[in-house]
Structures are given as C-alpha cells and as structure tokens.
Amino acid sequence: MAGEGFRLDPWGTLEVKDYDRLRRVFGIRPFAEVIPALRELGFEPSLHMRRGILFGHRDFDRVVLEGIRRGERVAVLTGFMPSGRFHFGHKLTADQLIYYQRRLGFKVFVAIADAEAFAVRRIPRGEAYRLAVEEYVANLIALGLDPDKTEFYFQTNRGPAYYRLAQLASGKVTAAEMEAIYGDLSPAKMMAALTQVADILHPQLDEYGGYKRVLVPVGVDQDPHLRLTRDIVDRLSGVVELMRPASTYHKLIRGLDGGKMSSSRPDYTIFLTDPPEVARRKIMRALTGGRATAEEQRRLGGVPEACTVYDLYLYHLIPDDSELLGIYKRCRGGELLCGECKRIAAEKLLEFLEKHQSKLEEARETARSILEPPSF
Ligand code: TRP
Ligand code: SF4
C-alpha cells in the first residue's frame, strides 16, 4: 500500500519537494544503482541518467539489463496525452526514447492517449488527432526519433487483442484497490487507467510483436499506473503469462515561475513551437535563484538549485558537463549575475528552437503520412 497516506495523482498537479523521500515511500529504487552495470555492458548512460534527473526505477536490472545480457529483444513504450502543445517537459521523455532507440537498439512504441484525453480532459476527437500529428508525433520526429523504427498508435485504434487485455485486466482488480492507489475515481478515470495497463502490457502479446521485456519511462506522477500494472500481471498468471514491466522515473521539470510546467500554463512553459521572441521574453521573466540586489548576489552568490533557468541548462540546454559546472560555480560564487545568465540561456534556447523548427514542417508531413486518423 502507498505508505503514510501519501498518494500520487496522475491527473493532478504534482509538485515534488523531496524525490528521495517519495522514492522510499513507494519502494522505487535509485537509478544510480544500475548505472555501473549499464557501463559494464558497454553503454554510456544518457545525460539524464548521469545527472540524476532520471532518479528512480523498478526492475530496470531484472528486465532491461538482464535482457541485454541474454541478447533478448527489449521494447520501450511510453504515451502522450494529446491535450496541448509539446513543451520541454515532453522533450525530456522524447530524449529518453531517442537514447534507447539509437544507443541501445530498443524497439519503440508510442501510445497517443486519445481515449484518455477525451475521458479526463474532454478533448474532442478531431482536436486530439490534430494535436497528436502536428504537435506530438511531429516534434518527436523532428527531435530525432526514427519514424521507421517507431510504432505510433492511437489508443482508440489499437485493435481487439489490446482491448481484450484491458478487459481481462478489469476483472483482476477491485474498485477498493483502485481507490487505494488513486483516491476517488470516476468511471472515466478507471477506464483510462485500465487502458494504460493495456498500453504497457500489449507489446508482450504475439499480435504486437511478443516483446516480453518492456521498459516504460515516465514522469513519477505516472507511477500509480505502473503499480496497478504490476499487480495485474501477477494476477493474470494462468490466464495469460506476462512479465512485469520495468519502469524509470524522471523528475518533473518546473515551469518558469517554479510551479508546474504544463500546456495549461503557457506563460511559464516553453513550447518547442514558440516563436523565438516569445521564448526569449519568457526566459527574461523567469524565476531565478538570484538575490534581491546585484550587490547582495556578488556577496552571497546565487542558488542554482532554486533557479528555473538553471533547470533548463541542466535538463536540456547544456549537454557538456564541464560547461554546466562552470555556470554553477560562477553563479554560486557571485561572479555571474542573473541578467547576464538569462541572456546566455536565451541565446542557447533560441539557437535550439531555430534549428528544431526548421525541421518541423517536414516532420509534420511525415507524421501525417504515417498516422491514420482513428476510424470510428
Ligand atoms: N497517462 C499518460 C499521460 O498523462 C499518457 C499515457 C498513456 C502513458 N498510456 C501510457 C504513459 C502508457 C506511459 C505508458 O501523459
Ligand atoms: Fe539562475 Fe543564472 Fe541567476 Fe544563478 S546566475 S540564479 S543560474 S539565472
């Protein structure tokens, strides 16, 4: 049971102060413990792994590392709810998919959670389709996910074996158990949760390739779905033999005011389609870890840990560790002031956006050509 009356709401607005505590409460293992074994197998950890942004896992060793050791196929699956524009929080997940696809050769599945978007956000179907193609799939491709090696699908379009799995899962859990995990649940949310269970498990079915080893990289707010999935796998034994999935958990990048980064808070969220000048203005207004006056900051130094601009460097804009450390030290030491630092960040951001956006039109065409609109 989720300890200490502590619950994660995958549909709520989560702000986590203490990731270590959260990890311990839910029995999530520290990701750092599997990095040496990954290296031993000949793979450099990704930027997010080595910087601790990917802070936790379940069964990464037993499912993923063991799969690599045995030369078995591994699939990675995650999902996006098409409920708004694609932003830097989504990019964090995208970067992980690209790492697994390019560096580790894993098969990639991407669920477009249109059923969930309709059930819990009331996004009309046409709008969900448009956002899926023009925003999510297009940005994923423009970031470098190879469309030839990725299976994108709409939940509402996935086929009978997938739905059958959701239905089987529904028989293996009680309403009280679901409420213990999620709190109060509407029927729509119950359906969405069981549909997500089917997302996570269906690559194991022969109909979808029979990938027994599945890794699910998500933000930690999605862990309730993984706990539910794991229980259901155990209880399906005898009906259909499945393996518990592995999962990894990343920290949630904060919005530019320190609150949640979310499409519903556009002033504090940087979208990958923001015109450069809009993005620059957002950065210049961002909450930093700076002091009240320049004099004070020179004397006491800034606090990068509290700074949303530093978050952007750490998660996205400065891949080079020694360059990042340089900024960290100059901030701490009071040599770098926030005005100059924001100009540096804006320059890096604009350079990224211009390059990314120049690939977007072609990526949109590709997205349109590979994604059929849901048929009913
Ligand atoms: N619920 C996820 C979200 O809110 C989307 C999602 C749907 C998903 N199916 C999934 C995530 C399967 C991981 C695995 O964004
Ligand atoms: Fe943030 Fe840069 Fe200011 Fe330090 S100097 S608090 S990293 S904006």
Residues 214 and 295 in one domain: no
For residue 348, what is the domain's CATH number? 1.10.240.10
pLDDT band, residue 117 (cuts 50/70/90): very high
Residues 111 and 203 in one domain: yes
The residue with greater pLDDT, 9 or 72, is 72
Residues 53 and 123 in one domain: yes
The residue-averaged pLDDT of 17-38 equals 96
Residues 155 and 178 in one domain: yes
Average pLDDT, the chain: 95
Residue 148 lies in a domain: yes
Ligand nearest to the CA of 82: 1
Ligand nearest to the CA of 288: 2
Print the domain residue range for 233. 19-252
Assess whether pLDDT exceeds 80 at residue 3: no
Ligand nearest to the CA of 115: 1
Residues 180 and 322 in one domain: no
pLDDT at 7: 81
Q: What is the SS3 string spanning 222-282?
A: HHHHHHHHHHHHHHHCCCCCCCCCEEEEECCCECCCCCECCCCCHHHCCECCCCHHHHHHH
Taking the centre of ligand 2 as the mean of its atom positions, its distance from the CA of residue 347, in whole angstroms, is 15
Mutate to test the pocket of ligand 2, among 282, 284, 287, 307 (most ligand atoms within 8 A of CB): 307
Residues 81 and 55 in one domain: yes
pLDDT at 372: 83
Residues 65 and 123 in one domain: yes
Find the residues whose C-beta lies inside 6 A of ligand 2. Answer: 288-290, 302, 304, 307, 309-310, 331, 336, 338, 341-342
Residue 54 lies in a domain: yes
The residue-averaged pLDDT of 321-346 equals 98
Domain total in the chain: 2
Taking the centre of ligand 2 as the mean of its atom positions, its distance from the CA of residue 315, in whole angstroms, is 15
Residues 225 and 133 in one domain: yes
Q: Which ligand 1 atom lies nearest to the CA of residue 81? A: 15
The answer to whether the CB of 93 falls within 8 A of the CB of 87 is no
pLDDT band, residue 1 (cuts 50/70/90): very low
Find the residues whose C-beta lies inside 6 A of ligand 1. Answer: 10, 77-81, 111, 113, 116, 196, 199-200, 216, 218, 222
Residue 59 lies in a domain: yes
The residues, any chain, with a CB within 8 Å of residue 90's CB and separated by 6 or more, are 80, 136, 139, 272
